[in-house]
Amino acid sequence: MEMKDFSLQGKVALVTGASYGIGFAIASAFAAVGARVVFNDIRQELVDKGLAAYAAAGIEAKGYVCDVTDEAAVQAMVAQIEREVGVIDILVNNAGIIRRIPMTEMSAEEFRKVIDVDLNAPFIVSKAVIPAMIRKGHGKIINICSMMSEFGRETVSAYAAAKGGLKMLTRNIASEYGQYNIQCNGIGPGYIATPQTAPLRETQPDGSRHPFDQFILAKTPAGRWGETADLQGPAVFLASDASNFVNGLILYVDGGIHAYIGKQPG
């Protein structure tokens, strides 16, 4: 193996929902090793926000408005990317939502919405890019899974169901299309410090840590929250030729939570 195996020079990478957060970090890492980055978001103002962020980072990216749960819109976006940028070599199914509602209080409509965005959309987008990957003779698909692909927790029944399904969709894509030199793997982030999790890390009025912050630190051998930068190396590896014989893997980037039973009460 040579270091060039980690290069994405000349590759076209589509990262869904990558205007900010984890998707933005992954797309930025891809750009740093040579990929041409394209991304989508559901509204023009989010796409514009993303384009400004990429420009500020010195990254040339193209953004598209697209609802990834709309199959016709996704097919049209992929066709437009192929015309304007090139055939998609790398897909990261990053777009997702969570609804923290106790199961007995959650409507079927709310449950379906989470499943639609977090599970149906990766199916729809993957289905749209796989035929061209087959014709080209290679392709990389990375699904952003979750620790909830393995664990349950109160108030996240829809999210856990979707992410558990996404784990199995990942394995099935690997099984069905590995013969065409397409590798489909997943990344399962641990608890990552993002603007969305900031309220859970705020210092309390008495100077103590937020109870959930204490819980996460106690469950994580690394003793800290992850940063979006912690996901960049694993994503580059799974998008590059260095992982050509890695298929159907869910790589948990969680500071060791999966390996740890937790601290004994004092």
HSE toward the beta carbon, residue 234, CA cutoff 13 A: 22
Q: Which positions are catalytic?
A: 159
Nearest in space to 136 (alpha carbons), one of 198, 87, 201: 87
Report the distance separating Cα 209 and Cα 216, nearest Å.
11
Report the distance separating Cα 121 and Cα 127, nearest Å.
10
Report the distance separating Cα 43 and Cα 222, nearest Å.
37
Pairing of strands 61-65, 90-93: unpaired
